A and B are shown apart, each in its own frame.
Chain A
Amino acid sequence: MGKFIIIGERIHCISPSINKAMQERDPEPILKRAREQIEAGATYLDVNIGPSEKGGEDLMKWAVTTIQQACDNVPLCLDTSNKKAIEAGISVYNRSKGKPIVNSADAGDRIENIDLAAANEAIVLALCSKAGISSDNDERMGYCQELLERGMGLGLEPEDIWFDPLFLVVKGMQDKQMEVLNFIKDLSDMGLNSTGGLSNISNMMPKHIRPIMDSAMVAMAMFCGLTSAIANPQDLRLMETIRSSDVIKSNTLYADSYLEI
């Protein structure tokens, strides 16, 4: 197995400074976050431009070229509900460091993003849900099969569909946590890749607790076979946990400086 893949989540239009930079086409605030995340150990960077129904294509093109040109063609995860914007982003995307990721498909309204990924030789994040949260793992697995069959039917390699079990918030859905972990184990047993928005679990918790909870979850999820996460690589505790778990899983060879590389 390769090392755990971190998709850095910090280029997100929900952040006022990033939103402003995107609207004004001001590269610096975005590049600053890009560089910080790469330095901290992100493999991929998520680029969330929001729904961007107007002007999304231009914005995504601008964001992809701006970030890749300044950051040695870092691979990107194109995150918007605007399909045309994703396609526009891919049209200017440089693949030398990795395929683009389409964020995301599900078994409901967004199932056509599977087709989009297949047509563009991209990786796709595939949420195992349809409308709202799946009620149990049978339902998650049903969607997983549906998405997998659709993708393979269109020529996608199974390894290019990264299944997202949907991490659930502990405060309110504490009883669902082991179910999510067991689903990750099921995906892993099928040899499939997996990912998800890890920090969902610690939503609404006090700020100083979140890295602790996220770290515990990532370690348990990696044990179950999680292969990547959309997360904040500048969360030092989280990154230390991921790097240590990578060593324990023999995803990477141990060296005394393993936390620094």
Chain B
Amino acid sequence: MPFKQVPQKFNAKINALTIGVGEKEITLGGENVFPFYTFDAPIENSPKIGVEISDLGAYTDVPGIAAYYAGSDTLPEIAKRASEMPGADFLAISLDGAHPDNGNRSVEDTAALVKSISDAVDIPLVIEGSRNIEKDAKLFEKIAEALQGKNVLFLSAREENYKSVSAAAAMAYGQKIGAESAVDINLAKQLNVLISQMGVKTESVAMNLGSAAAGYGFEYVATTFDRVKSAALAQNDNMLQMPIITPVSSEVWTVKESIVSEEDFPDWGPAEARGVSMEISTAAACLAAGSNAVILRHPESVATVSKLIADLM
């Protein structure tokens, strides 16, 4: 019997969220089909890749990353170099140096530093926090003010600080925010409800649903993404129609497979190749499950995932 293709049509779509300004601005989401289901309907905005640097510099403990940034000494230079990485759509800055246990750089100094980065690059910015909830709320407010008009995305607003992040970043300065939950589908929806009840437009919100390195409970991540996309499209749930952005690199570059040395585990081969494999396979899995954007570090991962996206679109 001949195969008869029946397109899976949905009367619902993922919100289109734009970050950045000018020629290099990007749009996440907007599709009305499952990830990469271009045979059902065209996907206007392909998934995007962010390159991650720290406010303490590039992640140079990996030789290939160090080599890529060789010669870039100041943070603005590093940021510019990152923004030029083939396949990079946006720049993600992790505010590691502002964490109270890691230098505790002041809110003012951090905002000035981020401003200097913003001045050096023309691609959109995603500001990842310091991973300290109280500090992040203060940092985001100051940075949102300093980067007014740049249309940046703040990762993330969490259950504990969504009020201040929503009020400061999104409402006062018109920036975009990501709602972060840790592989908890009900909390993901609840946070979106709470943020929208604050008065933030749903079109200004992305979701960071959490992640895990491949092999580290990733099946929970995949089923969570699946369930969210299917509620958004099949059930037209407007509290889950935000595009998904997933920080991958911070998960994969800390697991054993990526960091133990070849000397200690000769059978496993070179550490860097393993780390790159972890980053690529986790990113590919996230994209297949529904991420509209992934955040990566290694130039080889960025090039590979970028090609994967291009070939699948």
Contact = CB atoms under 8 A, between A and B. Distances in A.
B297 to A, nearest CB: 33
Nearest to B185: A253
B193 A252 contact: no
Interface string A97-122: 00000000000000000000000000
Contacts of B102: none
Contact of A255 (B190, B227, B234, B235): B190
A145 interface: no
Given A2-B235, A2-B236, A3-B235, A253 B227 contact: yes
B197 A255 contact: no
A253 B240 contact: yes
Nearest to B227: A253
Interface in B185-200: 185-187, 189-190, 192-194, 197
**Chain A: interface residue count, which band?**
10 to 19
Interface in A239-260: 251-257, 260
Contact of A251 (B189, B193, B235): B235
A3 B236 CA distance: 9
Contacts, number: 35
Interface residues of B, number: 17
Contacts of B189: 253-255
A222 to B, nearest CB: 16
B251 interface: no
Given A260-B193, A261-B193, A254 B239 contact: no
B231 A253 contact: yes
Contacts of A254: 186, 189
The binding surface of chain B is classed by DSSP as helix
A257 B240 CA distance: 14
B226 interface: no
A251 B239 CA distance: 14
A252 B189 CA distance: 11
Interface in A1-42: 2-3
A244 to B, nearest CB: 15
Contacts of A251: 235
B237 interface: yes
A260 B196 CA distance: 12
B236 A257 contact: no
Interface string B161-204: 00000000000000000000000011101101110010000000
Contacts of B234: 2
Contacts of B192: 255
Contacts of A257: 190, 193-194, 197
A72 B140 CA distance: 35
B237 A252 contact: yes
B231 A255 contact: no
Nearest to A2: B235
Contacts of A253: 185-186, 189, 227, 231, 235, 237, 240
Contacts of B236: 2
Contacts of B190: 255-257
Contacts of B237: 252-253
Contacts of A256: 186, 190
B228 to A, nearest CB: 8
B244 to A, nearest CB: 15
A261 B196 CA distance: 11
A256 B231 CA distance: 16
Scoring B187, B190, B236, B240 by chain A CB atoms within 10 A of each residue's CB, the highest score goes to B190
A251 B234 CA distance: 10
Contacts of A252: 231, 235, 237
Contacts of B227: 253
B126 to A, nearest CB: 25
Nearest to A256: B190
A145 B236 CA distance: 31
Nearest to A254: B186
Contacts of B187: 255
Nearest to B228: A253
B11 to A, nearest CB: 9
Contacts of B231: 252-253
B241 to A, nearest CB: 12
Interface in A193-246: none
A15 B231 CA distance: 39
Contacts of B185: 253
Contacts of A255: 186-187, 189-190, 192-193, 239
Contacts of A260: 193, 197
Interface in B45-92: none
Nearest to B236: A2
A222 B126 CA distance: 45
What 4 pairs across the A-B complex have the smallest Cβ distances?
Answer: A255-B189, A255-B190, A257-B193, A253-B231
Interface of A: 2-3, 251-257, 260-261
28 contacts: A2-B234, A2-B235, A2-B236, A3-B235, A252-B231, A252-B235, A252-B237, A253-B185, A253-B186, A253-B189, A253-B227, A253-B231, A253-B237, A253-B240, A254-B186, A254-B189, A255-B187, A255-B189, A255-B190, A255-B192, A255-B193, A256-B186, A256-B190, A257-B190, A257-B194, A260-B193, A260-B197, A261-B239
Given A255-B192, A261-B193, 4 more contacts: A255-B187, A256-B190, A257-B197, A260-B193
